[in-house]
């Protein structure tokens, strides 16, 4: 079948190639004919200008022999310029200043600037170029101008006996050096332009006739292949749209006019946790949620459904936040062809929104802390001073002495809360260094080893010796690890295990994992532990883990927490091996 199609198309392509070749040959011949006609007209003008220049030079030689005055040669120049199609005749020096002109009013003016004269490259051979000429009656018009050195003293080979000797001619010459003069003769291009326009018109008519014949032939071939081409384009469009739908990052489901599901792309399968075979051909009201059907009905009544947030209940009972758009599919006649459901997973966006809200909350806390920290610390200093005063003046062991100690202790706790709050909202000031992360881990474990041993807690560390140097602030990261260690020790109480693991990831980062065998955290509290002032401890401030998250984010990393309730909790921190400077900061530093 493919062979027959190719043999059917072969004569069509031969005909198209033949028509194109014929047009190319005719156009080439027409262009050459136009060029030939132009060359003939230009040659005629060159011959005419050569005769005109030679005649004037002969007249100038005669005038030198008869001792003509300058005005007599000017008259000769003007008389010769009266010939048909002659625009002007001029004599200039090497700098372009007019020595003689058929229009005597222009004598002494510049015909060309010295730079233009240099570009003309005047020689003894006659040269020509196309230029423009300002005529008082007709305005600016095109001109054909020829030029060469003006040599009125040059002797002809057959007339040496009839000319004056050189001394007499020089006496009759003008003060300027004729050997340095240039003669110009300009002709109008009316005849040249008219001939060229006529040739162009005839060629255009011929080409138009041939083009019409070629178009008629191509039109016949076009209608013969239209159906085949349309069929091929339809197949290509189907393949193209199918590929787009399959690779669309959003879920897409379409139904036909009988509300049966016809298209389910891969993203929809993944999000809904179903197989296309389970949905294809099924009535939409049986396999799609009732809320989707309500949205489709609203869309059919002219109410556009665009990016509406819904919570879709999956088969496992989990809730999936979706943003769904529903539209009717109608043809150009307005006939209903089905519905299209486009939806996307909003979990990541929800997380980003939550992150924005958290940072806005921290910003608000920062504004509050900056405003009241100073005002709170001053009274606290006074209260602590009074408490110490009363403690010193109360008997040891008395109620007054103990109350004063409690007051001082509470003042210290409030001052610590303010210090942590200011550290939490203070802008990042990392002192980045390239260090060995394993040494940082060992140093941090050494700092809590005594507390762990006193509570019979086993410390374990697993480090990747192949890890390269990492770019971090070792002091701030040590602060993060100590916060996590102390929380783990408090959660374990006694007789447990605290483990730290460091490993490289595939995307150029490292993962630090801190896990313990403590009591764990309930699922309801797990999503709140990084919130400011959230704590499950009676004496905690609720800022420790918030500070941990802030330091990790300052290192352009992320921290996640999982709980193995009823026992154990695991913090995983992923930090890039090198700190990437933001574009804006790079410009600012520069």
Give every CB contact of residue 170 below 8 A, 6+ residues apart in sequence: 153
| CA-to-CA dists, residue 241 to 56, 233, 248, 257, 528, angstroms | 81, 12, 10, 20, 45
Largest CA distance in the chain: 152
Q: How far apart are CA 96 and CA 181, in angstroms?
A: 9
| CA-to-CA dists, residue 30 to 25, 35, 325, 415, angstroms | 9, 9, 63, 99
Q: Of the candidates 78, 77, 57, which has an alpha carbon nearest to the alpha carbon of residue 149?
A: 57
Residue with tokens 């262009």, as numbered in its chain? 31
Q: How far apart are CA 463 and CA 279, in angstroms?
A: 49
Provide long-range contacts, Cβ within 8 A and 24+ apart, for 535-544.
Answer: 537/490, 541/416, 541/417, 541/420, 543/417, 543/420, 543/421, 543/424, 544/420, 544/483, 544/486, 544/487
List the chain pLDDT tens, one digit each, 590 residues: 333 444 444 466 676 677 677 777 777 877 777 777 778 888 888 888 888 888 888 877 776 666 666 667 777 878 887 888 888 888 899 898 988 888 888 888 888 899 988 888 888 888 988 888 777 666 777 888 899 998 776 544 444 434 444 434 333 334 344 457 899 988 888 777 777 777 778 777 877 887 787 777 777 777 777 777 788 888 888 787 777 777 778 888 888 888 888 888 888 888 887 887 778 888 888 888 888 888 888 887 777 788 888 888 877 777 788 888 888 888 888 788 888 888 888 888 888 888 788 777 777 766 666 666 666 767 777 787 877 877 788 888 788 888 888 888 878 777 777 776 666 666 667 888 899 989 999 988 988 888 888 889 899 988 888 888 899 888 889 988 988 898 888 888 888 899 999 998 888 899 999 998 887 787 777 777 777 766 766 566 667 788 888 888 888 888 888 887 567 888 999 999 887 765 544 444 43
């Amino acid at each position: 079948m493919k062979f027959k199609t190719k043999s059917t198309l072969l004569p069509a392509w031969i005909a198209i190639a033949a028509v194109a070749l014929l047009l190319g040959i005719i156009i080439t011949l027409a262009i050459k004919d136009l060029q030939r006609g132009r060359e003939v007209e230009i040659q005629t003008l060159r011959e005419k200008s050569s005769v005109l220049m030679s005649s004037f030079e002969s007249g100038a030689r005669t005038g030198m022999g008869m001792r003509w005055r300058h005005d007599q040669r000017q008259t000769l120049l003007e008389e010769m310029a009266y010939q048909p199609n002659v625009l002007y005749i001029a004599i200039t020096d090497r700098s372009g200043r007019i020595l003689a002109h058929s229009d005597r009013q222009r004598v002494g003016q510049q015909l060309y600037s010295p730079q233009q004269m240099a570009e003309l490259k005047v020689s003894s051979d006659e040269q020509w170029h196309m230029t423009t000429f300002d005529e008082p009656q007709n305005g600016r018009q095109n001109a054909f101008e020829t030029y060469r050195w003006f040599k009125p003293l040059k002797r002809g080979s057959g007339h040496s006996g009839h000319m004056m000797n050189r001394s007499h001619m020089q006496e009759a010459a003008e003060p300027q050096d004729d050997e340095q003069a240039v003669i110009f003769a300009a002709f109008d291009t009316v005849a040249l332009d008219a001939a060229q326009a006529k040739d162009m018109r005839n060629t255009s008519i011929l080409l138009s006739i041939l083009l019409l014949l070629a178009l008629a032939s191509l039109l016949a071939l076009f209608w013969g292949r239209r159906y085949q081409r349309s069929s091929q384009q339809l197949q290509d469009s189907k393949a193209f749209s199918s590929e787009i739908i399959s690779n669309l990052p959003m879920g897409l489901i379409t139904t036909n006019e009988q509300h049966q599901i016809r298209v389910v792309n891969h993203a929809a399968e993944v999000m809904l946790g179903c197989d296309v075979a389970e949905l294809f051909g099924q009535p939409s009201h049986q396999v799609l949620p009732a809320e989707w059907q309500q949205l489709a009905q609203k869309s059919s009544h002219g109410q556009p459904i665009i990016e509406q947030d819904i919570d879709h209940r999956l088969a496992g009972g989990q809730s999936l936040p979706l943003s769904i758009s529903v539209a009717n599919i109608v043809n150009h006649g307005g006939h209903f062809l089905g519905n299209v459901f486009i939806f996307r997973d909003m979990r990541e966006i929800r997380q980003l929104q939550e992150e924005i809200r958290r940072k806005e909350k921290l910003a608000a806390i920062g504004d509050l802390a900056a405003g009241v920290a100073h005002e709170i610390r001053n009274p606290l200093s006074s209260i602590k001073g009074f408490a110490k005063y009363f403690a010193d003046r109360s008997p040891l062991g008395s109620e007054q002495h103990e109350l004063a100690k409690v007051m001082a202790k509470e003042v210290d706790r409030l001052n610590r809360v303010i210090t942590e709050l200011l550290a939490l909202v203070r802008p990042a000031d990392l002192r980045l260094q390239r260090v060995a992360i394993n040494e940082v881990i060992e140093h941090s474990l050494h700092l809590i080893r005594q507390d762990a041993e006193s509570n019979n807690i086993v410390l374990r560390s697993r480090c990747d010796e192949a890890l390269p140097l990492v770019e971090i602030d070792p002091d701030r990261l040590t602060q993060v690890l100590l916060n996590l260690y102390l929380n783990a020790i408090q959660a374990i109480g006694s007789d447990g295990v605290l483990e730290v693991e460091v490993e490289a990831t595939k995307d150029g980062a490292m993962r630090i994992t801190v896990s313990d065998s403590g009591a764990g955290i309930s699922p309801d509290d797990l999503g709140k532990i990084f919130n400011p002032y959230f704590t499950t401890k009676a004496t905690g401030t609720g800022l420790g883990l918030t500070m941990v998250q802030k330091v990790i984010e300052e290192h352009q990393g992320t921290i996640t927490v999982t709980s193995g309730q009823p026992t154990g909790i695991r913090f995983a921190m992923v930090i890039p091996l090198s700190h990437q400077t933001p574009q804006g900061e790079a410009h600012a530093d520069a």
